[in-house]
Amino acid sequence: MYNSESDVVKTNFCQSCGRMTHSYEETDFSKKTGIAYVILGWFFFAVSLLFIPILFGAVAFCMGFLTYSARSKTHGVILMFFAAMGLLLGSMFSFIVAGTMFI
**pLDDT (tens digit, 9 = 90+) per residue, 33-66?**
778 999 999 999 999 998 889 999 999 999 999 9
User: What's the mean per-residue pLDDT of the chain?
Assistant: 81
According to the model, what pLDDT value does residue 97 have?
Answer: 86
Domain boundaries, the chain: 35-98
According to the model, what pLDDT value does residue 95 have?
Answer: 84
Contact 57, 86 (CB under 8 A): yes
29 — phi, psi (to 5°)? -80, -5
Question: Per DSSP, what are the bridge partners of residue 20?
Answer: 13
